[in-house]
A and B are shown apart, each in its own frame.
Chain A
């Protein structure tokens, strides 16, 4: 049997998948997002992602490696910390993280495998949104200092409770950020539904 045609198609598909593949980066925690009918795509760059796990832990990340490094520098300067080049390098490779600042150095010095196994406790946050123990506000502030064009995306888990979500919202509002994107999965709108605007 002549399978040349089939093999041709197969390799065409292979090429397509190789070229379009975007590899999943290891996230700090698994977050299963709810789905919505909103068809707006999440931008690829200049994005700050605030994750909210179902236990209520907060994770934080920005997209660009150089900007991550700048953000860490800003954060360190603001909090009287210092990081070695190796720690900065490790930090710039993290797509998101959720450790308080007093554990950050120890966390960055772990081996990649140990780091994956480490259960990250989340970034401390409070109910007022601007208290001294709220580290999320510092990260958001320093990230925006490193990259002024950042858009903010909230990625919450299905089962995250509303009070935790409210705390994140409060923190952002305290910094006068009033426009967010909520990252959701995509689902089809009900039959016959059309978007008017």
Chain B
């Protein structure tokens, strides 16, 4: 391929000057190797799935709006407990000895929201989400995701637990908060 032509050029003999015919084939193996190496690098280094954003709107604290109290019979309160467990009560206030049901996140919770939601008219049903201090950020994102999935429009994220609720959680699910 890259041998040196020793046969002598033109200029002697018959006097004809001819261009030397070199082969057009070059060895591309190293280039291709390098090319694949770079491909591998870029495939591994790029982040293909861009993160998505979930919007969260919270009420303005400076505005004091008088709202009508919601009837406990229409409310499903979901407490986010520890170890990725959710506890919910439905239809009764915490002081009325409601039944506390414990579910894991995911399918069980989604089914629970949908089942309870069918017991009252859709425009009355309200989900109140109360994360306890044991809950993680992931639990909050998960539950809001469930709200999107189950298409519940009326839900609220409340960060204070009432004394009744604290007692309830301590008695029923041994959650000391």
Contact = CB atoms under 8 A, between A and B. Distances in A.
Q: What is the size category of the interface that chain B forms with chain A?
A: 35 or more
Contact of A183 (B38, B39, B53): B53
B35 A7 contact: yes
A189 B57 CA distance: 22
Contacts of A18: 38, 42
Contacts of A38: 52-55, 145, 148
B57 A178 contact: yes
B113 to A, nearest CB: 13
Interface stretch (A84-92, A103-111, A163-171): A163-171
Contacts of B140: 162, 165
Given A17-B43, A21-B42, A179 B136 contact: no
B99 interface: no
Given A159-B137, A162-B135, A176-B62, A42 B148 contact: no
Contacts of A182: 53-56, 141
Given A36-B144, A37-B148, A193-B149, A186 B53 contact: no
Contact of B149 (A7, A37, A161): A37
B169 interface: no
B134 interface: yes
A153 interface: yes
Given A185-B52, A186-B51, 13 more contacts: A7-B35, A10-B35, A13-B39, A21-B46, A33-B51, A39-B52, A43-B53, A153-B53, A162-B132, A162-B135, A176-B61, A182-B53, A182-B54
Interface of B: 28, 32, 35-36, 38-39, 42-43, 45-47, 49-62, 80, 131-142, 144-145, 148-149, 151, 159
Interface of A: 3, 7, 10-11, 13-14, 17-18, 20-24, 33-43, 52, 153-154, 156-163, 165-166, 169, 173-174, 176, 178-186, 189-190, 193, 196
